[in-house]
């Protein structure tokens, strides 16, 4: 329950008063319950639940594997398991693949749209401070020296869609969970 209130305070909302929680499974690394918090005002019928699943592959525990065609992100756990999250991915023309590492992590990141994005969308702000209205969401994991990030979103309805300019979007609750698991230096594999 303490984790729930901490997340509510981090988000700066009154989620604690209105959220519901569902325990899906116990996290094998921390032995803590995997809890999904849903703000009823933003609940989506199409929400993709975070869950621990069987995972086969040669990736070491702690690796992040993103399957863009499946629109899922896996945080590899020991013993053939992974935490699976729903993600939003790059729209047609903005897909990419390869391997990177988490080079930096930020809570409530600011947003400065890159020049390429401003050229396409001159109506965008040149800078936006971090906070609930920021499209970068609650957390960001920067990928190497690229312009790409794994970040939260203030548009939860885009999770499971191909709508971004190449970044990997997550529900804020999920990116907070991933942020706590992943370290700077974590290997990230993006498969198409």
Residues marked as catalytic: 151, 167
Q: Do 57 and 74 meet the contact criterion of CB atoms below 8 Å apart?
A: no
Instruction: Determine whether 139 is exposed, middle or buried from the number of CB atoms within 10 Å of its CB (0-12, 13-18, 19+).
Output: buried
- Across the chain, how many H-helices and E-strands are there? 4, 13
The C-alpha angle with vertex 187 and arms to 104 and 11, in degrees rounded to 5, equals 45
CA distance 19 to 8: 9
Could you count the other beta carbons within 10 Å of the beta carbon of residue 81?
A: 19
Query: Among 33, 13, 19, which Cα is nearest to 177's?
Result: 33
């Amino acid at each position: 329950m303490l984790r729930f209130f901490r997340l509510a305070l981090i988000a700066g909302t009154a989620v604690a008063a209105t959220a519901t929680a569902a325990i899906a499974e116990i996290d094998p690394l921390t032995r803590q319950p995997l809890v999904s918090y849903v703000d009823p005002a933003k609940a989506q019928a199409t929400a993709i639940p975070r869950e621990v699943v069987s995972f086969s592959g040669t990736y070491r525990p702690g690796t992040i594997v993103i399957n863009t065609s499946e629109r899922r992100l896996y945080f590899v756990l020991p013993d053939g398991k992974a935490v699976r999250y729903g993600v939003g991915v790059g729209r047609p023309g903005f897909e990419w693949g390869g391997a990177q590492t988490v080079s930096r992590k930020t809570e409530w990141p600011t947003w400065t749209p890159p020049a390429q994005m401003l050229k396409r969308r001159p109506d965008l702000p040149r800078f936006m401070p971090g906070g609930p209205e920021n499209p970068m969401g609650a957390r960001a994991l920067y990928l190497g020296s690229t312009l790409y990030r794994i970040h939260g979103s203030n548009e939860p309805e885009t999770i499971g869609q191909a709508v971004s300019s190449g970044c990997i979007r997550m529900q804020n609750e999920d990116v907070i969970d991933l942020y706590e698991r992943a370290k700077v230096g974590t290997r990230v594999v993006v498969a198409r």
